[in-house]
Amino acid sequence: MRYFRATVEYDGTDYYGFQVQPQHPTVQGVLEQVLHRLTGVEVRVLGAGRTDTGVHARGQVIAFRCPWRHRVVDLQNALNALLPESIAVRDVAEAPEDFHPRYSARSREYRYLVYNAAVRSPLRHRYALHVAEPLDVDKMNEAAALIVGVHDFATFGDPTSGESTVREVYRSEWHREHSDVIYIVEANGFLRRMVRTLVTAFLWVGQGRWTVADFQAAWAARDRKKAPPPAPPQGLCLWTVRY
């Protein structure tokens, strides 16, 4: 038995998230099925992040233990030969025994793509949220910059484990590239639906529905009822995991 880590990219549109669910297709489930076909044994795949239904990943990190007598590159090639077009293994390496894709991670970076144009783009609807109204990106950045540091994010998400809703955010900023408006956020961890809920809050600021002070008041309330609904999943991508 050898212990491997790998970086996986996937289009999450047709999956009910990363984590295995009974009766529903998931990314973890597909990976485990393919590894079983390759090795003949049941293989458990661990992931760095539990992406939600419809959320994509460019840099999801996984780890698994399986019998493999060939070169590491042959394992990558074999996986990609059997995986569907929506999932690809970008790299594979042997991992140290103490490596865990989730608990060893120092930070995770997510990106959210907004297509800000008067007319929707059918070629982008799987990967971006269409917003027709003009957006004040400067105001959005004013609000986004406030969350950098160690803060309680109880308004914007539910804890993934335990009761703590405190997280440390290292980077939070919006960038405009023509019609694309991209949110980049990096933190030591995220609450459930935290990124997508923050995205909606910042969009409300950019549309003039909220002021920056309104955002601060909702945040300070530590009350999920004060939060806007989470943004749709298709714009969100787990960009990279850092160790």
Give the N- to C-terminal CA distance of the chain in Å, as an integer: 24
200 and 86 inside one domain: no
| Segment holding 90, helix H or strand E | strand 87-94
DSSP state letters, 159-201: -SSSS--EEEEEEEEEEEETTEEEEEEEES---BTHHHHHHHH
Residue 102 covered by a domain: no
Could you list the active site residues?
52
What is the model's pLDDT at position 162?
Answer: 73
36 and 121 inside one domain: no
**Does residue 103 sit in helix, strand or coil?**
coil
Distance of alpha carbon 106 from alpha carbon 6, whole angstroms: 17
Which residue range(s) make up the domain with 150? 107-242
Query: How many domains are there within the chain?
Result: 2
114 and 195 inside one domain: yes
Distance of alpha carbon 50 from alpha carbon 54, whole angstroms: 12
Which CATH number is 50's domain given?
A: 3.30.70.580
Which CATH number is 130's domain given?
A: 3.30.70.660
* Cα–Cα distance list, 3 to 45, 72, 198 (Å): 11, 11, 37
Q: What is the pLDDT along the chain (243 residues), one digit of tens a residue?
A: 999 999 999 999 999 999 999 899 999 999 999 999 999 999 999 999 999 999 999 999 999 999 999 999 999 999 999 999 999 999 999 999 999 999 999 999 999 999 999 999 999 999 999 999 999 999 999 999 999 999 999 999 998 777 899 999 999 999 999 999 999 999 999 999 999 999 999 999 999 999 999 999 999 999 999 999 999 999 999 999 999
30 and 135 inside one domain: no
76 and 188 inside one domain: no
